[in-house]
Amino acid sequence: MNFLKKYYLHLTFAVFLASLFMWSTFMISTGILLGCFTLGGFVVLYKRIALLENLALRFPAFFDIGAALITYLLFGQSIIGLIAASVVGLGTSMLIDLQLQDEQQKQKTRSERIIDILSTI
């Protein structure tokens, strides 16, 4: 139950994309599919290059807008490119939000350990 409370917006986004992909026209489903593939490519780059990870956690809005813009320009400024750019932008925002939550949890855990160590002294 805690999982649903914590990630309900992320799960809603995934269900919305899945339902839109299943019951949409060819152009919309193609845009969603290309957006998901492009987002996967951005995730691989994000994990491989440590500088991107540090910059993304420091400037998340820049990476949301940048990923959507690069995707839109990559797919030739068409309606499919617009749909793919929206999927990439929202997905990037969601994944950076998950990463920031994880970093905050690690920071909280470190603080609790330091307090425990100091209280035993």
Task: List pLDDT tens digits, range 80-110.
Answer: 888 888 888 888 888 888 888 888 888 878 7
CA 34 to CA 60: how far, in whole Å? Answer: 22
The number of domains in the chain is: 1
Q: Would you call 44 exposed, middle or buried from its count of C-beta atoms within 10 A (0-12, 13-18, 19+)?
A: exposed
pLDDT, residue 37, reads 87
Q: What is the pLDDT of residues 15-35, one digit of tens each?
A: 777 777 777 777 778 888 888
pTM metric for this prediction: 0.71
Q: What is the pLDDT of residues 106-116, one digit of tens each?
A: 887 877 777 77
| Residue-range definition of the domain harbouring residue 72 | 2-120
